[in-house]
Amino acid sequence: MSANQVAQDTALAIAKASPALGVAATGATGAIDWSAVAYGLTALYMLLQIVLLVPKYRQMLREWKPKP
């Protein structure tokens, strides 16, 4: 294996590991409160689900009602 290939493989491995290392470093230092981030993302996900599903359920209820 050439030195150039080894350098490319090492750079690729570092690039793949950097997001996980960044999260671990900020969690260990307390720079970011990840539990608050998770809570906020969960709340946003729930809000999106409600907003996107209400019209679908309204249409289903309209179709379900018996016609006179």
pLDDT in tens, 7-58: 999 999 999 999 888 888 888 888 888 889 899 999 999 999 999 999 999 9
Whether residue 67 has pLDDT greater than 80: no
pLDDT of 22 = 87
pTM: 0.51
The boundaries of the domain holding residue 65 are 33-68
Identify the pLDDT of residue 68: 64
Do residues 25 and 45 both lie within one domain?
no
b vs e for 5-35, b when ≥16 Cβ sit within 10 Å of the residue's Cβ? eeeeeeeeeeeeeeeeeeeeeeeeeeeeeee
pLDDT at 24: 86
Question: Per the structure, how many domains does the chain have?
Answer: 2
Helix/strand/coil for 8 = helix
Same domain, residue pair 22 and 40: no
User: What CA–CA distance (Å, rounded) separates 50 from 43?
Assistant: 11
